[in-house]
Structure 1
Amino acid sequence: MKNTYKLTEGAILLAIFAVLLLITLYIPGLGMIVNLFLALPFMMFGAKHDWKSTAVFTVAAVLLSMILGTFLAMPLALAYGTTGAVMGYMMREGKTRFASYIAGSLVFLINLVAQYALSIVLFKMNFIEEMVEIFRASVDQAINMLEQMGQTPDEKLISQFDAMVDMIEVLVPSMFVMASFFIVFLLQLVSFPFLKRFGVKVPHWQPFRELNLPKSILWYYLITMIAALALQPEKGTYWFWVISNLSFILQMLMVLQGIAFVFYLTYVKDYPKAVPIIVIVLMFLLPFVLYIVRILGIIDLGFDLRKRLGEKK
């Protein structure tokens, strides 16, 4: 009886996945939204059944994707399927929401990197290089248009554009990491309310103001900064690539710590709740605000600013 229920539930969830996949593949506008729900059937099945059954369900979904779509459908099924299955398993084991988030993000990242590598090896397609070339061509076209109109392009501005394009190529690994963590955050955001409605015990997020990164990250950050100053690697070298990506990721973590501190300060001092939102918006508009928030994150992590502020009365 238990196996019959499991098979029935699996068949229903596979049917739901098939509908979601077809919409994602063949209805472009709506598909961009619906693809965020592709992991939901896997989360639901994984949260209720053992890992062996979840693995079989995931394999069945991948095979079904090959029948319904093309080989382009299989990477979608693999990425969202394995990510959803792992997060479902973490919920079944009673892990925290943060642990589920980290596990899901790492699995999605592995899928992203593996599929990027396979696209280069098997199909000779490098979408990052193509994107960069398109951007370079757009810049060249804009320069040519200005010259035809009798205007002289600003050399400083052109060099800044070139430097930005070069940095995009260098920071590909960092972009993969950020994209994976952002996408999995969205997956949890849209999927967990549905899981609750269907009786799945969903772990809660701790308040963002309580986010406190491990102190070891500060040491990694300082070591990376010292290495960058000491080695001063040339562009195009392996060490330039490593240090640039480590610096970028660690700086973003310091900014995250700084934002969490702003939320904590707002809570403790009873400031208006709009304050942290305004700070986040200003970070995107004014670069110096971003630097201030990052410095706050470094100080908070290194000197326990929150303990000095004390608990809210």
Structure 2
Amino acid sequence: MPNNQTRRLAHGAMMIALFTIFIAIAFYVPIISIVATLFAPLPMAWYSAKYDRNSSLLVALIGCITSFFIGGLLIIPFALIYSATGVVIGDALRLKRSKVFLLMSTGITALITFAIEYVIALKLFEIDIIKESMTIMRETYSKSIELSQSLNGQTPLDEQTVNRMFETMETMIPASITIAMFVTTFIIISINLPMLKRFGINVPKFRSFKNMRLPKAVLWYYLIILSINLFISPESGTALYVISLNISLILWLLLTLQGISLIHFILDAYGSPPFLKVLATLMAIPLYSFFVLIGILDLGFDIRSIVKGKIQK
């Protein structure tokens, strides 16, 4: 028992030091910061995968405190997000959860942590990160318009169109942040799980992308939102408009991924060369409406069984 306790304390101290180094590099070193950011949750995930939740939370808390002594208050938001995601990743691995559960729990944790930090910054320090970011984007776009006018004497877009574009972007901020958080956590998980496997941690695997199947409830959500937009047509700026627009954006992305997955399945079933999968994925950007339709058909009908039946014949 004493040996186990000593090992736990030593491992915890080592993970705290490693986490603090990663956070410091991510905060202070310009180019290497990208790599350090991706691996920052690794120490907490490693510790949390081996020891109980209470010990992991304590180590994460101490890691945030030591980070504070290096970078002050400005570094705390980064430390909190990466320590929280690391603990959740490790806890899911320790409990032998699936990779889908791992992705969902980590993404939700990162999203909640960001939301809490945003509210604290807004209420206590009167700093609106999102509003300031939009202001910077407007100023940057205004400068690009001035540059365009000075070069060729033409304005790319009129002022009314620009205002409408930025209003739409501001309305879609919740969905954009949600998607960004889940994409980031997916990248972090994909990079850190192989490392954790090298350290002797059992890690789950995702099913092949070509076999991805979203819950059929996604199709019902899409039909509900589509009905709201068609029959109610909420006015711009209303709460219903904001909710429907943000949910629509998330559903469009999910259904587009479902459509790409079906194309990959069909191409793989017929033994097509790999470059066609890459080409189909790239074509999903300009033809996203077509891929959304394919995703809807894939969820509504068992197209994959039809393809399998034709190939077997």
TM-score, normalization: structure 2?
Answer: 0.93
SS for the counterpart of 2:73 is coil
Return the alpha-carbon distance in structure 2 between the equivalents of residues 186 and 124 of structure 1. 32
Q: Is the 8 A contact 1:112 1:176 kept in 2?
A: no
Match of 1:255 in 2: 256
| Residue aligning to 1:171 | 172
Alignment correspondent of 1:226: 227
Contact 2:16/2:60 (<8 A) preserved: no
Q: Structure 1 residue 235: deviation in Å?
A: 1.4
Letter in 2 for 1:245: N
Structure 1 stretches of at least 4 aligned residues deviating more than 6 Å after TM superposition: none
Equivalent AA in structure 2 for residue 250 of structure 1: L
Structure 2 portions without partners, runs of 5+: none
**Deviation of the 1:138 alpha carbon:** 3.2
Question: In the alignment, is residue 113 of structure 1 matched against residue 112 of structure 2?
Answer: no
Measure how far apart 1:132 and its partner are. 1.9
Alpha-carbon deviations, 1:194-246, whole Å to 9, x = none?
11111111111211111100001100001001101222112111111111101
Matches of 2:73 and 2:152, distance apart in 1: 50
User: Structure 1 residue 32: deviation in Å?
Assistant: 2.2
What is the deviation of 1:154?
5.4
Deviations 1:161-201 (Å, cap 9, x if unpaired)?
Answer: 33321111001111111111111111112211211111111
The count of residues paired between Structure 1 and Structure 2 equals 309
Which residue does 1:212 correspond to in 2? 213
What CA distance in whole angstroms lies between the structure 1 residues aligned with 2:89 and 2:156? 50
Alignment of 1:7-26 (within 5 A): 7-26=9-28
Matched-pair contact (CA < 8 Å) for 1:16–1:41: yes
User: Which residue matches 1:300?
Assistant: 298
Partner in structure 2 of residue 290 of structure 1: 288
Q: What is the match of residue 276 of structure 1? A: 277
Q: Determine if contact 1:256/1:297 at 8 Å carries over to the other structure.
A: yes
Q: Please name the residue that 1:82 is paired with.
A: 84
Equivalent position of 1:59 in the other structure? 61
Contact 1:174 1:248 in 2 (8 A): yes
Q: Please give the alpha-carbon distance, in whole angstroms, between the structure 2 residues aligned to 1:224 and 1:203.
A: 34
Q: Which structure 1 residue ranges, 5 or more long, are not aligned?
A: none
> Contact 2:107–2:181 (CA<8 Å) still a contact in 1?
yes
Q: TM-score, normalised by structure 1?
A: 0.93
Structure 1 Cα separation of the partners of residues 25 and 252 of structure 2: 38
Counterpart amino acid of residue 125 in structure 1: I
Change (3 A) 1:231 1:14: same
Quote the sequence identity (%). 28
Q: Residue 113 of structure 1 contacts residue 176 of structure 1 at CA under 8 Å; is this kept in 2?
A: no
